[in-house]
Structure 1
């Protein structure tokens, strides 16, 4: 079984670009932070705190000049989980991540893969594999510059249609 690198290893080794494509309307809805958010108990600070480790990693990468972009393709009206993600996104944006949102119905002609993914430096693809109950199963890392370049080209075509986080209304 191939070794799966940690997030820190991936970002520390990244030289110029990391892109993240999210295509699901729900993720692991048993998340304790999500339950607190639904109940009105999650403060903005706690929400940001949940992502502090990731934000530190992204901030270090962007400080070195790495561009980190995330595109969320979502159905509208948004699910409660997407509303929750939207509310927590300012923390990652402050860390240097660029985030755009794309209404799925506004881009039926955009060709995208069917699975969430990361691409690092147009060489490594990290597939995010989930089950039918929205639970994360595993990462599959593939070193394939040709595949990675095609995926980033698809990402870029959708990115152009995406709405920057601060302008996207849920």
Structure 2
């Protein structure tokens, strides 16, 4: 089978799937986020079920799924939204930590958010200034993998678990 999409690649992952997020806003026109901003009831579990099922499957196979978020303080509305829905990620088996931007100043970071799978493959996410998704870029370049792994490890070591990060 040719592995081409991110979900397919995550399904093929054997050991680790680490994600570093460094933006204060994503997908500003996301209907779930906009409903949340208006204080309307949202069924986030249903909206994010495909992702949560993917994480549960990976964790069930023994894959460590970790997400670290570098955020500005005071946090943006979008980060407040992410923080409010993160318990779903945790329930699916994903570990999530938060690091304030001030505490990340002396960490060498790639210019874009990324996923690193099995410490072999990196997926960079590309976004507009407003946070709209522009695309992705994949690489197996060992130097890039090493940079991303080092950045993730440094952030993870300083970041606080979701349960301890108060907004």
TM-score scaled by structure 2? 0.94
CA distance in structure 1 between the partners assigned to 2:141 and 2:64 by the alignment = 20
Q: Partner of 1:100 in structure 2? A: 97
CA distance in structure 1 between the partners assigned to 2:147 and 2:129 by the alignment = 26
CA distance in structure 2 between the partners assigned to 1:64 and 1:146 by the alignment = 28
CA distance in structure 2 between the partners assigned to 1:90 and 1:148 by the alignment = 29
User: Structure 1 stretches of 5 or more lacking a match?
Assistant: none
1:130 aligns with 2:132: no
Q: Partner of 2:112 in structure 1? A: 115
Q: Partner of 2:20 in structure 1? A: 21
When the two chains are superposed, the root-mean-square deviation of aligned CA atoms in Å is 1.4
> How many positions carry a matched residue from both structures?
166
CA distance in structure 2 between the partners assigned to 1:48 and 1:78 by the alignment = 23
User: Structure 2 stretches of 5 or more lacking a match?
Assistant: none
Deviates more, 1:146-155 or 1:71-80: 146-155
TM-score scaled by structure 1? 0.92
Question: Which of 53, 56, 60 is the matching residue for 2:57?
Answer: 60
SS of aligned partner of 2:158 = coil
Q: Partner of 1:36 in structure 2? A: 35
CA distance in structure 2 between the partners assigned to 1:157 and 1:75 by the alignment = 18
